[in-house]
Each structure stands twice: as C-alpha cells, then as structure tokens.
Amino acid sequence: MKQSIVTVTPDIARDWLAANTNNRPMCKAHVERLSNFMKRGQWKFDGSPIRFAANGALLDGQHRLMACIESGVSFRAAVIRGLDLEAFEFMDQGRIRSASDNLSVAGKVNTTLLAAAGSWVLRYKQKRGQLAPRIERTDVVSFCLKAPLLEECVAWAAHKRLSIPASLAAAAMFVFREIDNEAGYDFLCKIHTGAGLSDGDPALTFRNRMIAETAGRKLLDNQVAFAFAIFAWNAHRKSSPLKLLRWAVGSDFPTAI
C-alpha cells in the first residue's frame, strides 16, 4: 500500500474517474455542493483520502473528482493505492460530524439549540422570496461562532416553556433584536408570559394561535410559525391590532420591519 499527497487537477480527475468501474451511483446534489465549495475557495485539505484498490479501481472519492471537473478548480488530496477490493464495504460507515458537534468542540453551550437557531436565521437572511432550503453545516458553524447576540437569544429560549420550538423562538428573537434590541427582547417575553396583553395585541394573537396549534393533533409547520411570528412583530411595530394570522408554505416569506 502506498500513500501520497497530490494536487488533483481536472485532467487528473478525469483520468481517475475512468477507473470508477464499480462504485455507488453519483449524487448530483452532493457533487454540486462540493463544486460550490471549490469555486468559492472554501475547500480545505482535511486529509480525507482518495482510495484505489490494488488493481487500480477507484474505491472512494468519485464525488470530489467530479466536483473538481465541474468547478474547474484543482485541490490537494491524500491518495492511497493498493487497498483490498473488499475494503469498499467498510468505507463511509462513520458518523458525520454535525454543526452542533463542531460548536461543542469550539467551547459553545446549548449547541444543538444554537445550531438549529443559526440555521433558521441563515435561511431567513438568505431567502429569495421563500426561505433558503438548505444551509451548509460550515456556514452555520461560522455564523454561530460570530454571533454573540444569537447565543444570548438561545440562552433565553433554552430554559423557557414556549409554545413554539426553542430554536425558532431564539431565531425570531435574534431577527427582531437586530432591528430593535430592546423591543425585540420585550416582544418575545410578552409572547412567553402573555401577561397584561389585551385582545388584538399582536403578541397575544400569536401566542394564542400557537397554543391552539399545539393542542391539536397536527403541529403547525415551523416555517408557518416563523412567518406568523414575523407578521405579529410587524403589526406590533406598526402599533396595529392583529386578530388573524394567515400564511401558506410556498408563498413569499415575510420580511421583519
């Protein structure tokens, strides 16, 4: 068995993929993800090898090689040659590290909640009409590590009994506090306690709707709950009464004001 470090160019990738005679089907979405990393200059050498059997067959690395071709960007990789063909059966069996895992390694707390809230915030920030459908793990981690305000919101939501998921409450508080720090905090506190709110108050309308939904058999879609929170916040900002919340998945997602 031989191991080396190689700068893989698109031409080398094409040659190596020619040895890809008996591998799993290519996942186009995964290739696109890796290709985007390479195009943006975000691909990092992590030591993960491209592996070949003793007979020259490619055992592992086809998605990275195809991403190299599609992006037109070379990348460095460890290369191992001379493995037994049977080794293929044991590849890719490890547990994938989550954003929560990475945040925990970085010394953060409430990491599962923090990662989930960060994902909601980024989906909102990157929306184009509708919420962004997917946020890369690396982007979630990078954002959370630079967002002390989000950590404050998560710390608040982590120990409250809320009518919406804690990650969603933390994300909504973050979005609102970025607009008006004090008002955003107070608005979520009103939703949490319901104290002193009169009929038509947007915070009470939202709170009552969420309580009614959780009492039913089918929980409200989290996207809808997030949209309702923003509608309620916007009405609150305008000092307008609000008695009805209505929004459907697939419609343009509202923007907080």
pLDDT tens digits, residue range 232-255? 999 999 999 999 999 998 899 999
- Do the domain assignments include residue 255? no
Domain hosting 188: range is 99-237
pLDDT category, 46, cuts 50, 70, 90? confident
Do 59 and 175 sit in the same domain of this protein? Answer: no
Do 106 and 206 sit in the same domain of this protein? Answer: yes
Of all residues in the chain, the percent with pLDDT exceeding 70 is 93
Sign of CA dihedral 163, 166, 171, 176: positive
Sign of CA dihedral 88, 93, 98, 102: negative
Q: What is the dihedral of CA 194, 198, 199, 203, to 10 degrees?
A: -40
Cβ-in-10-Å burial (0-12, 13-18, 19+) of 86 comes to exposed
Do 26 and 148 sit in the same domain of this protein? Answer: no
Identify the CA nearest to 110 among candidates 97, 99, 122, 95: 99
What pLDDT score does 215 carry?
72
Do 117 and 231 sit in the same domain of this protein? Answer: yes
Give pTM, 2 decimals.
0.70
Identify the CA nearest to 18 among candidates 64, 50, 56, 54: 56
Do 208 and 128 sit in the same domain of this protein? Answer: yes
Q: Is the pLDDT of residue 85 over 80?
A: no
CA distance 205 to 215: 16
Domain boundary among 66, 90, 114: 90
- Do the domain assignments include residue 129? yes
- Tell me the pLDDT of the chain averaged across its residues: 90
Could you tell me the CATH number of the domain that includes residue 74? 3.90.1530
CA distances from 73 to 68, 137, 139, 163, 186 (A): 6, 22, 21, 48, 49
- Do the domain assignments include residue 244? no
CA distances from 30 to 9, 33, 74, 173 (A): 19, 5, 18, 33
Q: Position of tokens 């890809």?
A: 20
Domain boundary among 35, 69, 90: 90
Do 106 and 196 sit in the same domain of this protein? Answer: yes
pLDDT tens-digit series, residues 160-211: 888 889 999 999 999 999 999 999 999 999 999 999 999 999 999 999 999 9
CA distance 25 to 114: 34
- Do the domain assignments include residue 133? yes
- Count: domains in the chain: 2
> Of the given ranges (79-88, 212-221, 242-251), which has the lowest mean pLDDT?
212-221
Do 75 and 108 sit in the same domain of this protein? Answer: no
Residue type, 16: W
